[in-house]
């Protein structure tokens, strides 16, 4: 009986070692506590595009900075700090490199920086500032993603100079804006090598449409109109980039579906553009998944097996429909809002990144600078409401001190993204 009990005890210890996280004080966890060492994350790229994405490993977003918007047409350089973030410095970028970040996504809004609306000429001071920050990261040997970000107007607010909106009746002016921005961006950066990646649009969607802004329904005529318009936007932007010459002829270009939603990308209404280059496209998606844990406030604060199954399904579908067909996937935004649940967020990061790396994906954590749950940062909020306390707490990097707010989380993600 003692032998039998001993065997069961040994099996139990082994099961707990591979399947459980031992309770510790938050300060005593290490990254290895949240990495499944038995899980095979090795991936063999099929082509150049997949090799680039796989080598990007794990990235960080310079959020709420160059993407910040204002009501003025040509708002000037002050928009960079307009949403509460400090002015970007070279030291910030070096700090990210020193902490192990391989990729930086730089969201950029353009419609507030047009000096001449009639032909959408970008203010030269704004373009120079964008180039300066890109160069800081590029010169550090990091991969850099740049895009058209918060330029998606609502339909009721759409007009010349307001960006774009995905619908047939707004398409002509939207195409003019998108084409001219990419003409100028492509010309500025055409001699940069493959470590600079273009992302056509950020979360293009039916801005302001409460029912269909974030979800795609192929049975909805308004949604289908939006998808058809987006397919045309993507094709036009890609053709513009390729025609600009230099290294843009073969540059990796990230292509979004409606709202950068994986579900929309799974729908047959979404079409990747026809490319003159070979193996030079990637699917762009955002995954605050599962929503109740990663974004919902208060939502779920415990990362469960059910949440893992949700992630498994999404990664499996992305692999089946894209990766297995030679199209890599870049998860341009992801993260789990702070709900004072460090252990469970660490488990989420470990699971998310390991399972995405199995299919050669790279993920970039969204960082809006907001991390402190004692600071209610969204207006008319009640300090006692958990939905206010935990809303969009996606701050990870202290840009002033060049250190992580939650070192454990980023150490888990970086370790999970290592090339095997």
Q: Please indicate whether residue 333 is annotated as part of the active site.
A: yes
Q: Please indicate whether residue 355 is annotated as part of the active site.
A: no
Q: Please indicate whether residue 149 is annotated as part of the active site.
A: yes
In 3D space, the residue among 363, 216, 223 whose CA is nearest the CA of residue 289 turns out to be 363
Angle between helix 90-98 and 124-139 (nearest 10): 30
Beta bridge partner(s), residue 116: 121
Q: Is residue 17 part of a domain?
A: no
Model confidence pLDDT, tens digit, residues 96-140: 999 999 999 999 999 999 999 999 999 999 999 999 999 999 999
Model confidence pLDDT, tens digit, residues 345-392: 999 999 999 999 999 999 999 999 999 998 765 544 555 567 789 999
Q: Is residue 149 part of a domain?
A: yes
Alpha-carbon distance of 288 to 362, in angstroms, equals: 14
Q: What is the DSSP letter of 160?
A: T
Model confidence pLDDT, tens digit, residues 221-275: 999 999 999 999 999 999 999 999 999 999 999 999 999 999 999 999 999 999 9
The token pair at 328 is 């890599």
Q: Which of 80, 173, 199, 203 is catalytic?
A: 203
Q: Is residue 8 part of a domain?
A: no
Q: Is residue 39 part of a domain?
A: yes
**pLDDT(10) > 60:** no
Q: Is residue 18 part of a domain?
A: no
Torsion sign across C-alpha atoms 71, 75, 80, 82 = negative
Strands 362-365 and 397-398, how do they pair? unpaired
Alpha-carbon distance of 350 to 360, in angstroms, equals: 15
Cβ burial of 226 (10 Å; 0-12, 13-18, 19+) is buried
Q: Is residue 45 part of a domain?
A: yes
Alpha-carbon distance of 412 to 417, in angstroms, equals: 9
Alpha-carbon distance of 392 to 294, in angstroms, equals: 9
Model confidence pLDDT, tens digit, residues 30-84: 999 999 999 999 999 999 999 999 999 999 999 999 999 988 778 899 999 999 9
Q: Which of 333, 344, 355, 411 is catalytic?
A: 333
Domain that holds residue 326: 29-416
Q: Which of 111, 149, 286, 344 is catalytic?
A: 149
Tell me what pLDDT residue 385 has. Answer: 65
**SS3 call for 380:** coil
Q: Is residue 16 part of a domain?
A: no
Q: Is residue 13 part of a domain?
A: no
- Per the structure, the count of domains in the chain is 1
Taking CA 171 as the corner, what is the angle to CA 168 and CA 176, rounded to the nearest 5 degrees? 170
In 3D space, the residue among 166, 169, 77, 70 whose CA is nearest the CA of residue 111 turns out to be 70
CATH number, domain with residue 94: 3.20.20.80
């Amino acid at each position: 009986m003692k032998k039998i009990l001993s065997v069961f005890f040994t099996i139990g210890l082994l099961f707990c070692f591979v399947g459980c996280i031992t309770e510790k004080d938050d300060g005593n966890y290490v990254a290895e506590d949240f990495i499944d060492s038995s899980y095979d994350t090795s991936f063999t790229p099929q082509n150049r595009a997949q090799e680039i994405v796989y080598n990007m490993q794990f990235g960080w977003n310079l959020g709420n900075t160059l993407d910040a918007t204002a009501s003025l047409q040509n708002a000037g350089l002050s928009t960079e700090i307009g949403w509460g973030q400090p002015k970007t410095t070279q030291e910030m970028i070096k700090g990210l490199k020193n902490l192990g970040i391989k990729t930086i996504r730089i969201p950029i809004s353009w419609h507030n920086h047009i000096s001449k609306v009639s032909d959408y000429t970008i203010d030269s001071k704004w373009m120079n500032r964008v180039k300066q920050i890109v160069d800081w990261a590029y010169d550090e040997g990091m991969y850099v993603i740049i895009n058209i970000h918060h330029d998606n107007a609502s339909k009721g607010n759409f007009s010349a100079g307001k960006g774009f909106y995905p619908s047939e009746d707004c398409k002509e002016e939207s195409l003019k804006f998108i084409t001219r921005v990419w003409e100028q961006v492509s010309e500025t950066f055409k001699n940069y090598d493959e470590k600079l990646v273009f992302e056509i649009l950020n979360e293009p969607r039916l801005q302001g449409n409460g029912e269909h802004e974030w979800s795609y329904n192929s049975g909805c005529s308004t949604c289908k109109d939006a998808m058809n318009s987006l397919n045309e936007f993507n094709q036009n932007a890609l053709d513009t980039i390729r025609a600009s010459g230099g290294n843009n002829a073969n540059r990796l270009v990230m292509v979004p579906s409606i709202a950068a939603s994986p579900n929309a990308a799974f729908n047959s209404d979404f079409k990747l553009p026809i490319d003159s280059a070979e193996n030079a496209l990637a699917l762009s998606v955002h995954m605050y998944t599962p929503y109740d844990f990663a974004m919902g406030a208060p939502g779920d604060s415990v990362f469960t097996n059910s949440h893992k199954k949700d992630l498994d399904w999404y990664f499996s579908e992305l692999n089946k429909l894209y990766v297995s067909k030679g199209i890599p996937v870049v998860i341009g935004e992801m993260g789990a809002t702070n709900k004072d649940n460090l252990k469970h967020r660490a488990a989420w990061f470990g699971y998310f990144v390991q399972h995405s790396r199995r299919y050669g994906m790279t993920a970039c954590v969204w960082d809006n600078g907001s991390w402190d749950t004692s600071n209610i940062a969204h207006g008319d909020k009640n300090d006692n409401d958990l939905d206010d306390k935990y809303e969009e707490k996606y701050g990870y990097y202290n840009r002033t001190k060049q250190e992580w707010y939650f070192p454990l989380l980023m150490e888990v993600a970086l370790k999970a993204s290592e090339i095997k």
